[in-house]
Chains A and B, each alone.
Chain A
Amino acid sequence: MTNGSRERVLARVRAALADVPADEPVERRPSERPYAESHDAGPTLDVLVERLVDYNALVRRVAPDRVADEVAAALERCGARRILVPAGLPEEWLSRTSVERVVDSPEDPRDVAELDSADGVVTACTVAVAETGTIVLDGGPDQGRRALSLVPDHHLCVVRADQVVDSVPQAVRRLDPLRPLTWVSGPSATVDIEMIRVAGVHGPRTLEVVLLDPDA
């Protein structure tokens, strides 16, 4: 049935497009992109911080050598006792905290009940977008499986300054579509009741970003 449907749908598409000249090029040239590279919203890291805060994320902007202290302090503040950690997270980030770690990797995954019982998760990211206040995770070893940053209620994400771009086009160019990507802009939210944005539904209700800024 499916095979017959494939040919039927394609034949219908071709019949519907009888008006399109046969010699019209199928490929578009990527150079034909007339829109802006970015929108001059201000200094990149300042904009990222402003827009993360605008979408209810907690943000700490610190010098890179302060990362372990900030991570420890953040975990302390939220009262986490047991946290999830992707196997490739830099060891030094957790060097100042004594909370219990549950290490997860695609090769040795924790089951969903274990993910659910953790108080939070610490990950890196692959790209952050200043203009939209977005962090993007691509499932790399320091970010882990998608479920890691989803099931726990608290997501602490460490962002390096060199990972931050100004705009969506710049981010798209850095990303590999073959990897599973999660774009995160603030904690989970809904507008389904009277179109008013309410933070905190099924995803983590707290998003905390530690931004490593060499000039901080």
Chain B
Amino acid sequence: MRIALFITCVNDTLFPDTGRAVVRLLERLGHEVVFPTDQTCCGQMHYNTGYRRPAARLAVRFARTFENADAVVVPSASCAAMIRDNYPRLSRSGSRLARRMDSLAPRVYDLTEFLVDVLEVTDVGAYYPHKVVYHPTCHGLRFLGLGDRPYRLLRAVRGLELLELPEATECCGFGGTFSVKNGDVSSAMGFDKARHVVETGAEVLCAVDNSCLMHIGGTLSRQRSGLRTAHIAEILASTEKEYART
């Protein structure tokens, strides 16, 4: 299958390793990955902060860029949710954007959805000999309804010990511009999340969204916890061969 990658602006700029991992993983599974270079940003920050018109213009850009894709894979649950849940709200019914999105939205997937539902694979042949804890991000959990998909993928990874995160379903406090507009509350939430993560004794915290990981990871790093963060794609892309090489 020919898969169009929507990398997202945050991953593109700050977390290119995640994008490379997605490409490596999907190619390893025997699929062709394309990267439409016109892509930029889904508009989530504008939309969530109340800037509807810029968000709508970015939505049009996304729809135009990915119109002809068989499947669009997004390694970010919040961006995937933005496209699926909020683009319809940005378009007047019957408009060109609405028509485009009606046909495109069902072909937009978070990475873990795409692996489990479309490729029907949970064991991706990964190897990752670490204690890992998974934080189910709000958009993955409540907006996309990812359910146990990420857990099934992680449990199939050889060498990986999956630990249970207390109060896992609670928001980490990132919330986009919330993290600066209400920095004190955001930090308080981040501290609690970081504390729960550290308590598990994990070496690595993973999630389906690098923006949440940037927030929790930034807190963990400031606290010199020694714990590191990794997008789930990086864990799923990792193999024994690569481990032998490093």
**Complex A–B touching at CB under 8 A:** no
Chain A positions near chain B (C-beta within 8 angstroms):
none
Chain B positions near chain A (C-beta within 8 angstroms):
none
